[in-house]
A and B are shown apart, each in its own frame.
Chain A
Amino acid sequence: MKRICLPLKNKFHKLIGLPLADILKFLAAAGFIIWLMYRGTEKTGYNWQWYRVFRYVCSFDDGRFVIGPLLDGLIVTVRITVYSLVAMFFFGLLSALFRLSDSFLAKILARGYIELIRNTPLLVQLFFIYFVISPVLDIGRFTSAVLALSLFEGAYASEIFRAGIVSIHKSQWEAAYSQGFTGFQTCRFIIFPQAVRRILPPLTGQSISLLKDSALVSTIAIYDLTMQGQAIISETYLTFEIWFVLAGIYLVLAMVISMGVQRLEKRFKVET
């Protein structure tokens, strides 16, 4: 009886049973940080004008809901992030498989791609792709941004994939082989399900990095969240207010990604 109740009790405890001491600690820490910020800006004589910020998020014009520039930028940021995530998966998986393949050429290619991308700054890559390569290929601003972002993050993702696949013990491959599985079947049914569990946590971090790095596309005049924010700041000089709002929006977006992956992790959970 006791054993059956335990998981339930744990769940309940997690949801509402947060001890008072913990809540107090949290409030104290949060209060301290806010107070520090307040002190810092007070010293510089910055005058806060939070009341001017809200209409840049959204406004109501005669009862009609009007999307503000920040929400416009949010949509662009989400679009860039989603496209880049898909492409990052593709580049990452492809180069991971290339590195693990027996072909010498594929190995060299993947290795070269990873080292080149990992050891140069993203901003430089973005400018190079946008100002130098895109006029040749005749691709637009948005495509250049997605390409640069996904190539960059894909190099890191590739290593995560490779690490996950390599970490599966050799005996698993051998067992699959002796059961008469083909190479594809081995990957599909034996290796991949096990590797996914190890890949997901670091990949989440990579996805969140991608979201944050997407702020750099503002430098090639894409009106993403950061660019919209900068444009508002250049007209209103609400520097700190707008940057804080932007940080908050990025934080929420990153949390959404984290939670989505947590769901996935539950799905691939090992029944022990």
Chain B
Amino acid sequence: MLLIIALMGCFSGCSNEPTPTAPQAESALERVMKQGVLRVGMSTFVPWAMKDKTGRLIGFEIDVATRLAQDMGVNVEFVPTKWAGIIPALITGKFDIIIGGMGILPNRNLKVNFSIPYDYTGMSIVAHKKLAEGFNSLEDFNKPGVSLAARLGSTAVTAARRFMPDATLSLFDDESQAYQELLNGRVYGVVGSAPTPGFQALKYPDKLFLPLSDTFTREPIGFALRKGDVDTLNFVDSWIRVVEEEGWLKERKRYWFDTRLWEPMIQ
């Protein structure tokens, strides 16, 4: 009993001092410059971020984050995080910024600040040849009894609920599990950000096909930062404008999404 009281006294005594680690105390930018390392939250997601044969991270987002750190003059440290928990991890200060193909969504924006878009993505569907035979529109999938899979916490879930509310949706922590589910013929289709569904259809042409010729949404992609950090937000916005004008973003995007030159690196 006495011990507890003593402990409480000690803790309340300690807590009166300002805490140097609190994110509100200084901007993330200050902290990054001081410590010389930019901690980036991300999740593996072909071809945004993936591991090559040697276990090194490569991909579009990795290039963007590396260049950002380079332009700040600091080192980059990637913190791989499960997608479903990536926003809480940012809020609680596990890293400084999310660069992981995160779609800008109003309900996400209630918890974090977004930079201006540095990329746009769209949702597409890849479907099972046998189960979804003859499906070629969203209406075909929007029926009770049709099951779809998507990654938990991704904008694919939002899109699937909006365009195909009558289909049942199975959620997985990883995209790879959702595709495994499709290959095992347990769901009719997987909803995901382009170009991954298309890649899967190319990889298993005898089992899967693309029911829609094009993406059915267009979503802006931004960096996510902790709320109220105007300083850092302004920096990344400006940085995006600069590399956009350079044409560097377009060039990188083409390399990762339109060419397959990087394939030998992962296989």
Chain A interface residues toward B at CB < 8 A = 21, 24-25, 28-29, 32, 35-36, 39, 43-46, 127, 131, 134-135, 141, 219-221, 227, 230-231, 233-237, 239-240
Q: Which of chain A's residues has its CB closest to B187's CB? A: A221
Shortest CB-to-CB span from A196 to chain B, Å, is 40
Q: What residues of B have a CB within 8 angstroms of the CB of A141 in the complex?
A: 186
Q: Is the beta-carbon distance between B153 and A234 smaller than 8 angstroms? A: yes
Q: What residues of B have a CB within 8 angstroms of the CB of A227 in the complex?
A: 171
Q: A219-B172, A237-B87 are in contact. Are A39 and B15 (CB under 8 A)?
A: yes
- The CA-CA distance from A28 to B1 in the complex, in Å, is 8
Shortest CB-to-CB span from B81 to chain A, Å, is 13
Q: Is the beta-carbon distance between B84 and A24 smaller than 8 angstroms? A: no
Shortest CB-to-CB span from B156 to chain A, Å, is 11
Q: What residues of A have a CB within 8 angstroms of the CB of B11 in the complex?
A: 35-36, 39
- B93 within 8 A of partner (CB): yes
Contact with A along B65-93 (1 / 0, CB 8 A): 00000000000000000001101100111
Q: Is the beta-carbon distance between A135 and B185 smaller than 8 angstroms? A: yes
- The CA-CA distance from A24 to B2 in the complex, in Å, is 12
Contact with B7, one of A25, A32, A230, A234 (Cβ below 8 angstroms):
A32
Q: Which of B107-115, B134-142, B237-245 contacts A (4 or more CB under 8 A)?
A: B107-115
Q: A25-B1, A39-B11, A221-B172 are in contact. List 16 more A-B contacts (CB 8 A).
A: A24-B1, A28-B1, A32-B7, A46-B92, A131-B184, A219-B173, A219-B177, A221-B181, A230-B152, A234-B84, A234-B157, A235-B107, A236-B107, A237-B88, A239-B91, A240-B88
Closest 4 CB pairs of A and B: A234-B153, A221-B170, A239-B88, A44-B92
Q: What residues of A have a CB within 8 angstroms of the CB of B261 in the complex?
A: none
Q: What residues of B have a CB within 8 angstroms of the CB of A236 in the complex?
A: 107
- The CA-CA distance from A159 to B255 in the complex, in Å, is 57
Contact with A237, one of B1, B8, B108, B170 (Cβ below 8 angstroms):
B108
- The CA-CA distance from A25 to B22 in the complex, in Å, is 32
Q: What residues of B have a CB within 8 angstroms of the CB of A36 in the complex?
A: 11
Q: Which of chain B's residues has its CB closest to A25's CB? A: B1
Q: What residues of B have a CB within 8 angstroms of the CB of A220 in the complex?
A: 172, 177
- The CA-CA distance from A55 to B128 in the complex, in Å, is 37
19 A-B residue pairs with CB within 8 Å: A21-B1, A25-B1, A28-B4, A32-B7, A35-B11, A39-B15, A43-B21, A45-B227, A46-B91, A46-B92, A131-B184, A219-B173, A219-B177, A221-B170, A230-B152, A234-B84, A234-B153, A234-B157, A237-B108
Of listed B5, B108, B177, residue having the most chain A CB within 10 A: B177
Q: What residues of A have a CB within 8 angstroms of the CB of B227 in the complex?
A: 45
Q: Say which size band chain B's interface belongs to.
A: 35 or more
A-B contact count, CB below 8 Å? 80
Q: What residues of A have a CB within 8 angstroms of the CB of B157 in the complex?
A: 234-235
Q: Is the beta-carbon distance between A44 and B23 smaller than 8 angstroms? A: yes
Q: Is the beta-carbon distance between A45 and B153 smaller than 8 angstroms? A: no
Q: Is the beta-carbon distance between A32 and B4 smaller than 8 angstroms? A: yes
- B217 within 8 A of partner (CB): no
- B180 within 8 A of partner (CB): yes
Q: What residues of A have a CB within 8 angstroms of the CB of B7 in the complex?
A: 32
Shortest CB-to-CB span from A256 to chain B, Å, is 28
Q: What residues of A have a CB within 8 angstroms of the CB of B93 in the complex?
A: 44
Shortest CB-to-CB span from B162 to chain A, Å, is 12
Q: What residues of A have a CB within 8 angstroms of the CB of B23 in the complex?
A: 44-45
Shortest CB-to-CB span from A134 to chain B, Å, is 8
Q: Is the beta-carbon distance between B19 and A43 smaller than 8 angstroms? A: yes
Q: What residues of A have a CB within 8 angstroms of the CB of B184 in the complex?
A: 131, 134-135
Q: What residues of A have a CB within 8 angstroms of the CB of B234 in the complex?
A: none
- B149 within 8 A of partner (CB): yes
- B24 within 8 A of partner (CB): yes
Shortest CB-to-CB span from B65 to chain A, Å, is 23
Question: Among residues 150 to 187 in chain B, which have CB atoms less than 8 Å away from a CB atom of chain A?
Answer: 152-153, 157, 170-173, 177, 180-181, 184-186
Q: Is the beta-carbon distance between B152 and A231 smaller than 8 angstroms? A: yes
- The CA-CA distance from A239 to B90 in the complex, in Å, is 12
Shortest CB-to-CB span from B50 to chain A, Å, is 20
